[in-house]
């Protein structure tokens, strides 16, 4: 008796399911053909393709030997990783439009090839980040290195966060590396591993070219990451990125204010210049406290963005 009822229930449920499916098909217009079409569409949407590498590419005018299978695979890896992390790639491309115009003329001033702007992009993504080792700012300078190249670094002022001044320091370091190694590619690698680190490996392995050196994973990938960002930024449309030029982040015009004395309260200073404390710190991140200590009378330049671009928002009282 129980078994027969179970069978009837199963049959009833099966028929109900078929009826339900028929109702859904009628209500939503699904047919066997439309379901198959949808499967095809889903396949098209989720299709992921490999990438064609450029036939030739160079860093700072120095050719990359893509005929070397290892070099080919390493560049392919970085290009794939950066292309298919689409949200990050778009953000980097948009953000670069804001900061490249600041960095490019300083590189040119020092005779540093323009490609080194992609090194800064690879280092920080143009965010004022601090690494676990303590490297800081767009150019990821260590405290000792920054001081060696003339930057002020303390709890009150840290010029590693100063875009222009840190770029000057990075250029001086890169010049020294190029003079030592005679190669911009090795100078870039040394920015990651240090001049001593690269020299040690050259001597140990009895080779000089970056592409012949066996290096730790981070330095091994370093130049290729820069190359991938250069290729992606230069030819982003070829890699499927459609970015409206109106969506690029743009530099904001600022007015320099020269200061040669202490500022007791930066919030008050910001108000006096018709901007908020937040905006002041955004455009002058090297100011690390809520005051500026300046017992020596050092000359600082504080950038004040146009107040019309960053109005102070006031609370509206309810009636």
Q: What is the pLDDT of residues 149-196, one digit of tens each?
A: 999 999 999 999 999 999 999 999 999 999 999 999 999 999 999 999
DSSP structure class, residue 113: -
> Residues 177, 186: contact at Cβ < 8 Å?
yes
Name the residue among 168, 217, 207 with its Cα closest to residue 186: 207
From the number of C-beta atoms within 10 Å of its C-beta (0-12, 13-18, 19+), residue 192 rates as buried
- The pTM for the full model equals 0.83
The residues spanned by each domain of the chain are 58-247, 254-305
Is a pLDDT exceeding 90 seen at residue 71? Answer: yes
Over residues 198-207, the mean pLDDT reads 98
Q: What is the pLDDT of residues 302-313, one digit of tens each?
A: 999 988 888 777
The pLDDT of residue 189 is 98
The pLDDT of residue 87 is 96
d(CA 142, CA 121): 17
Report residue 76: phi and psi, to 5°.
Answer: -60, -40
Over residues 60-83, the mean pLDDT reads 97
The pLDDT of residue 32 is 52
Q: What is the pLDDT of residues 126-152, one digit of tens each?
A: 999 999 999 999 999 999 999 999 999
H or E stretch at 256 = strand 254-259
H or E stretch at 255 = strand 254-259
**Percent above pLDDT 90 for the chain:** 80
d(CA 74, CA 85): 17
130 - beta bridge partners? 136
The pLDDT of residue 311 is 78
Report residue 141: phi and psi, to 5°.
Answer: -90, 135
User: What CATH number does the domain located at 58-247 have?
Assistant: 1.10.530.10
């Amino acid at each position: 008796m129980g078994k027969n009822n179970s069978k009837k229930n199963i049959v009833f449920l099966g028929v109900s399911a078929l009826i339900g499916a028929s109702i859904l098909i009628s209500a939503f217009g699904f047919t066997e053909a439309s379901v198959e079409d949808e499967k095809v569409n889903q396949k098209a949407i989720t299709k992921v393709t490999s990438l064609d590498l450029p036939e030739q590419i160079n860093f700072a005018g120095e050719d990359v030997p893509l005929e070397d299978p290892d070099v080919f695979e390493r560049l392919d890896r970085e290009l794939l990783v950066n292309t298919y992390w689409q949200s990050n790639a778009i953000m980097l491309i948009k953000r670069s439009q804001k900061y490249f115009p600041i960095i490019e003329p300083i590189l040119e001033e020092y005779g540093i090839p323009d490609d080194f702007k992609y090194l800064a992009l690879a280092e920080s993504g143009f965010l004022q980040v601090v690494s676990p080792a303590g490297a800081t700012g767009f150019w990821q300078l260590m405290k000792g290195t920054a001081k060696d190249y003339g930057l002020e670094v303390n709890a009150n002022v840290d010029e590693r966060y100063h875009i222009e001044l840190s770029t000057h320091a990075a250029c001086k370091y890169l010049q020294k590396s190029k003079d030592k190694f005679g190669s911009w590619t090795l100078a870039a690698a040394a920015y990651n591993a240090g001049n001593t680190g690269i020299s040690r490996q050259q001597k140990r392995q009895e080779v000089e070219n970056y592409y012949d050196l066996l290096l730790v994973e981070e330095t091994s990938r370093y130049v290729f990451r820069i190359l991938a960002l250069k290729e992606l930024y230069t030819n982003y449309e070829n890699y499927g990125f459609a970015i409206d030029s109106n969506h690029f982040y743009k530099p904001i015009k600022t007015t320099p204010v020269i200061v040669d004395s202490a500022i007791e309260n930066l919030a008050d200073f910001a108000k006096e210049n018709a901007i908020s404390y937040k905006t002041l710190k955004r455009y002058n991140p090297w100011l690390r406290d809520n005051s500026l200590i300046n017992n020596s009378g050092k000359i600082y330049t504080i950038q004040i963005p146009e107040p019309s671009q960053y109005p102070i928002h006031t609370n509206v009282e309810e009636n």
